[in-house]
C-alpha cells in the first residue's frame, strides 16, 4: 500500500477516531502500515499477537490490583497509568 493510500485511509477514519488531541488510534494505523511494509505481514501478526498477550497479562494484573486497592475518589494508583501506557 502506498503512503498516500495510508493518508487517505487515516483521513477517512478521522471522523470516528480523531477526537482526542493526540489521535493515537490514527497514528497506530500509520505505524501498522509502516511495520508491514518493512517487516512483512507475518511478522506484523507475530508482533500484534505478542502485544495483545502482554495487554491481556497487564489487564489481569490491573484487575488484581483493583480488587486489592479500589480506585476511590483520590488520585489513581500508578498501576492504572502503567496499564494505560503499556497498552497504547
Q: Do both 45 and 88 map to the same domain?
A: yes
Residue-level pLDDT at 22 = 79
Report which secondary-structure segment, H or E, holds 32. Answer: helix 24-39
Residue-level pLDDT at 81 = 72
Indicate the range of 8-17, 57-66, 68-77 predicted with least confidence: 68-77
User: Computed from CA positions of residues 75, 63, 65, 81, in that sequence, does the dihedral angle turn out positive or negative?
Assistant: negative
What is the grid cell recorded at 17?
477516531
Q: Do both 77 and 48 map to the same domain?
A: yes
Range of the domain at 34: 1-39
Contact 31, 23 (CB under 8 A): no
Q: Do both 27 and 56 map to the same domain?
A: no
Segment 20-71, tens digit of pLDDT: 777 888 888 999 999 999 999 999 999 999 999 988 888 888 788 778 876 6
CA atoms in the 13 A half-sphere facing the CB of 74: 4
Number of domains in the chain: 2
Amino acid at each position: 500500500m502506498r503512503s498516500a493510500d495510508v493518508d487517505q485511509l487515516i483521513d477517512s477514519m478521522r471522523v470516528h477516531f480523531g477526537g482526542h488531541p493526540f489521535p493515537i488510534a490514527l497514528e497506530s494505523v500509520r505505524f501498522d502500515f509502516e511495520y508491514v511494509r518493512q517487516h512483512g505481514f507475518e511478522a506484523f501478526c507475530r508482533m500484534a499477537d505478542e502485544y495483545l498477550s502482554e495487554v491481556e497479562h497487564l489487564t489481569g494484573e490491573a484487575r488484581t490490583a483493583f480488587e486489592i486497592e479500589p480506585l476511590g475518589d483520590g488520585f489513581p494508583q500508578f498501576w492504572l497509568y502503567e496499564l494505560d501506557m503499556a497498552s497504547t
